[in-house]
Amino acid sequence: MNITILIPVYNDSESLIQITERIELIAQNNRNIIFTILIVDDDSSDSHNYSILKNHKLIKIIHIKLKFNMGHQYSIYVGMLFCHYNNTEYLVIMDGDGED
């Protein structure tokens, strides 16, 4: 089973790092599931911090950086289009700031 987790972000690098670490722990206990995290970056100024995310071994990280700040819902829309055109099997949409 393949699960893609779509996370729209705007200057949420600290929360995003925590979220990906937790998903990595879930992946350790569920080796039969392939986890992909799709980050849609809404033109964040802290996106240079996302390079630390490449250290994960059990989850795949895809990072899409928008050229302009378009808002939360547009970021989700872009992510859903990406998933549609890449034949995503299962999609979960999460919030990137850790508040929801």
Q: Is the pTM of this model over 0.95?
A: no
Q: How do residues 14-37 score in pLDDT, each as one tens digit?
A: 888 888 889 999 999 999 999 999
Q: In what order do the strands lie in the sheet containing 2-9?
A: 59-65, 34-41, 2-9, 90-93
Q: Average pLDDT, stretch 53-70?
A: 87
Closest of 89, 3, 52 to residue 63, by C-alpha: 52
> How confident is the model at residue 57, as a pLDDT?
80
Neighbours of 52 (CB within 10 A): 12
Contact, 82 vs 38, CB < 8 A?
yes
